[in-house]
Structure 1
Amino acid sequence: MTSSPAITFQQFAAVDIRVGRIVAAEPFPQARKPAFKLTIDFGPEIGTRRSSAQIAECYTLEDLPGRLVAAVVNFPPRQIGPFMSEVLTLGFPDADGRVVLVAPDQQVPLGGRLF
């Protein structure tokens, strides 16, 4: 995989990436790839948002509540089958291409912005 073209700091700053805590995870059998529906709490400023995340190959529904995650909160909502995804939950592919969630390695306040 090659690197993407260079961007300015202003372009990076336009992407609002926040930390949230998964408060609920549900099956999403209608998704084309194995996915879950997540409800994520981003704290009082942003509130609770929903996300479809293709993470069912690495996580179980029981693994997810209480986990911190990073998500883009300023993309427009996206219809994914019968579900409206409000944020993009971030992850990296493992060696087999399965999505591994991005999260801080220490406790941080909900809603904190990545910089």
Structure 2
Amino acid sequence: MHMNHDPAAAPAETIGFDHFLAVDIRVGTIVAAETFPEARKPAYKLLIDFGPTIGRKRSSAQITEHYALEDLSGMQVAAVVNFPPRQIGKMMSEVLTLGFPDEDGKVVLFHPSVPVPNGGRLF
């Protein structure tokens, strides 16, 4: 899947609302974060709690420029939870943690401005 990180890029083609609903984006709380030395690009391994229905899922995130490991635990983030798992190095990434590029293209995590229940779905 190709991601376009160019903020000047034209909007994607128009889609129907059903396409949006097919992408299941949920909020979860990072419960553990560790370095990921085997990753091709600098990244952390995250364990994210999405509440009782979805449970805890693993993710790899290239967020080392803006986030120190010790600051991640307890942070709420948004992630796509219905993509197929992806093998990244020695870990299986189960969800895609979402972020936006800063002016240098480095990832800034997307998260709610106030605490919300884990597992809530984006609408």
Task: State the TM-score, normalizing by the size of structure 1.
Answer: 0.98
Q: Report how many residues are paired.
A: 115
- Tell me the residue number matched to 2:79: 71
Q: Which has the higher helix share?
A: 2
Among all aligned residue pairs of Structure 1 and Structure 2, give the percentage whose two residues are the same amino acid.
70
- Tell me the residue number matched to 1:96: 104
In the alignment, structure 1 segments of 5+ residues that lack a partner are: none
- How far did 1:72 drift? 0.2
For residues 32 and 57 of structure 1, the distance between their equivalents in structure 2, rounded to whole angstroms, comes to 15
For residues 114 and 19 of structure 2, the distance between their equivalents in structure 1, rounded to whole angstroms, comes to 27
CA displacement, residues 3-56 of structure 1 (integer Å, 9 cap, x when unaligned): 111111000000000000000001001111110000000000100000000101
What RMSD in Å do the two structures reach over aligned CA positions? 0.5
Task: State the TM-score, normalizing by the size of structure 2.
Answer: 0.92
In the alignment, structure 2 segments of 5+ residues that lack a partner are: 1-8
For residues 81 and 2 of structure 1, the distance between their equivalents in structure 2, rounded to whole angstroms, comes to 33
Q: Given the alignment of the two structures, is residue 43 of structure 1 paired with residue 37 of structure 2, yes or no?
A: no
Segments of 4+ moved more than 6 angstroms: none
For residues 115 and 71 of structure 2, the distance between their equivalents in structure 1, rounded to whole angstroms, comes to 17
CA displacement, residues 66-94 of structure 1 (integer Å, 9 cap, x when unaligned): 00000000000000111100000000000
